[in-house]
C-alpha cells in the first residue's frame, strides 16, 4: 500500500521518538517538520528528513501532508488539531489529548466534521504485560473486572520543572502529576475496567514548592459495571519506586502490571532501565505462568530500545488504521475520557463532592 505523507509539529523531546518512527516505518513518508522555533525544525529536518517549517498551515499546504503528529505542550494541542483537521489531515496527538474538556470537544468536533481520524498516544497499551491483561479480561478469565487500582510513586526534581518554561504552571501545563505523568495509567485503568460512573478525589502539592500544580493526587472511582477503583499518584518519592495497575476479578483472581520501575522515564532525557512486567497473575490454572511471562518479557526487553519501540508500534498501528479505514486502537474519545478523569478529580477537590461522569460541557 502507498505510504502516508506524514508531518509533525513541535520538534522537542518526545517528537524525536515520532520522527524516528515516521522516518523508518514503511507506512510513512516524512514530508514536514514544524516548530515555532525554526532552528529546531531545521535540526529535525537534518536528522530525520522532511522539510522544515515555522508555520503549521503552510507546512500542511506545501507538503500535502495527510497525517500530522502533534508534539507541542498540551494547552497547544487544540490549535494544531483544528488546523490539521480543517486541512483534511488525520491527527495523532501526544498525551494528554488536551488540558481541558472544552479543548477536547473542539478537537473531536473538528475531526468529525472533516471526517479525519483522531488518535492520542498511549503507548503503554502496547506493552506485552498490558496486552496479556486485556486479553485475559476480554476472554472472561477473571470473570468481571470488579476492583482496579492505579498506584504511582515517582519523582521529578526542580531541574525537570526548569527544563522547559511551560512546566509546572496551570496556564501552560494545565495541571501537574494528573495531567502530565498519569494519563498513561488513567487510560489503562479505564481500558481494562470499563466506563466510569463517578469519581471523588483530591490533590495537593506536597513537596514541590517551586511549582503551582499538583504533585500528588488520590481518588476513588465507581465503574458502570458496578466495580470500584482507587488511584494514588505522586511525584514525591525520591528515589521513585514504581507505577502499577492491578485489576481484580469477580472470580477472585488478580492480574497486574508494573508499567514502570523507579521513576517514570522522561522522553529524550532518561531511559527505561527495567522492563514492564506482570507482577500479579492468580487466574485459576494459570498461577505458574507469572514466572514464564516475566522471563519472556525480560528477554524481549534486551532486544529493543523500549522508549522508541512502543511509540513506533502505536504510530504504525495508527497509520495502518488510516490505510484500512478503521478506527485506531486508541481513539480521540479515549483521549477525552482521560481528560474527563483528571477534570473530575480537580472538580471534586474544588467542591468537596463526587463528580458524575460523563461530564458534558
Cβ 163 to ligand NAD shortest distance, Å = 8
Cβ 267 to ligand NAD shortest distance, Å = 4
Closer of 223 and 310 to ligand NAD (Cβ): 310
Task: Tell me which residue has its CB nearest to ligand NAD.
Answer: 12
Closer of 76 and 355 to ligand NAD (Cβ): 76
Closer of 120 and 321 to ligand NAD (Cβ): 120
Cβ 162 to ligand NAD shortest distance, Å = 12
Q: What contacts 166, CB < 8 A, 6 or more positions away?
A: 73, 75, 172, 173
Grid cell digits, residue 222? 465507581
Pairing of strands 196-204, 355-356: antiparallel
Cβ 57 to ligand NAD shortest distance, Å = 11
Closer of 117 and 180 to ligand NAD (Cβ): 180
Closer of 17 and 25 to ligand NAD (Cβ): 17
Cβ 293 to ligand NAD shortest distance, Å = 23
Grid cell digits, residue 128? 506485552
Closer of 255 and 334 to ligand NAD (Cβ): 334
Closer of 69 and 223 to ligand NAD (Cβ): 69
Contacts with ligand NAD, residue ranges (CB under 6 A): 9-15, 34-37, 40, 71-74, 76, 94-95, 121, 123, 164, 180, 267
Cβ 9 to ligand NAD shortest distance, Å = 5
Cβ 147 to ligand NAD shortest distance, Å = 27
Amino acid at each position: 500500500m502507498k505510504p502516508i505523507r506524514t508531518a509533525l509539529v513541535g520538534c522537542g523531546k518526545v517528537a524525536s521518538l515520532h520522527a524516528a518512527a515516521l522516518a523508518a516505518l514503511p507506512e510513512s513518508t516524512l514530508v514536514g517538520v514544524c516548530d515555532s522555533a525554526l532552528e529546531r525544525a531545521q535540526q529535525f529536518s537534518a536528522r530525520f528528513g522532511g522539510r522544515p517549517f515555522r508555520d503549521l498551515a503552510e507546512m500542511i499546504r506545501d507538503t500535502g501532508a495527510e497525517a500530522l503528529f502533534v508534539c507541542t505542550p498540551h494547552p497547544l494541542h487544540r490549535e494544531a488539531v483544528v488546523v490539521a483537521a480543517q486541512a483534511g489531515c488525520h491527527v495523532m496527538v501526544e498525551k494528554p489529548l488536551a488540558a481541558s474538556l472544552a479543548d477536547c470537544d473542539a478537537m473531536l468536533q473538528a475531526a468529525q466534521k472533516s471526517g479525519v481520524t483522531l488518535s492520542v498516544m498511549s503507548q503503554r497499551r502496547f506493552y506485552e504485560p498490558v496486552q496479556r491483561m486485556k486479553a485475559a479480561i476480554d476472554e472472561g478469565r477473571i470473570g468481571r473486572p470488579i476492583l482496579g487500582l492505579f498506584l504511582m510513586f515517582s519523582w521529578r526534581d526542580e531541574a525537570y520543572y526548569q527544563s522547559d518554561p511551560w512546566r509546572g504552571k496551570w496556564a501552560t501545563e494545565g495541571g501537574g502529576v494528573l495531567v502530565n505523568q498519569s494519563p498513561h495509567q488513567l487510560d489503562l485503568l479505564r481500558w481494562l475496567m470499563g466506563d466510569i460512573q463517578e469519581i471523588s478525589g483530591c490533590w495537593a502539592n506536597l513537596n514541590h514548592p517551586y511549582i503551582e500544580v499538583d504533585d500528588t493526587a488520590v481518588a476513588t472511582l465507581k465503574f458502570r459495571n458496578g466495580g470500584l477503583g482507587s488511584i494514588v499518584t505522586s511525584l514525591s518519592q525520591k528515589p521513585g519506586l514504581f507505577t502499577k495497575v492491578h485489576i481484580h476479578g469477580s472470580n477472585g483472581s488478580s492480574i497486574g502490571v508494573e508499567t514502570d520501575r523507579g521513576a517514570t522515564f522522561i522522553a529524550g532525557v532518561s531511559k527505561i532501565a527495567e522492563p514492564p512486567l506482570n507482577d500479579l497473575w492468580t487466574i485459576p490454572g494459570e498461577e505458574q505462568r507469572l514466572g514464564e511471562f516475566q522471563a519472556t518479557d525480560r528477554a524481549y526487553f534486551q532486544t529493543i530500545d523500549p522508549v522508541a519501540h512502543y511509540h513506533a508500534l502505536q504510530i504504525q498501528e495508527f497509520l495502518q488504521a488510516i490505510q484500512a479505514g478503521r478506527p485506531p486502537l486508541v481513539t480521540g474519545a479515549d483521549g477525552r475520557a482521560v481528560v474527563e478523569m483528571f477534570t473530575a478529580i480537580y472538580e471534586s477537590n474544588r467542591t468537596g463532592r463526587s463528580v458524575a461522569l460523563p461530564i458534558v460541557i
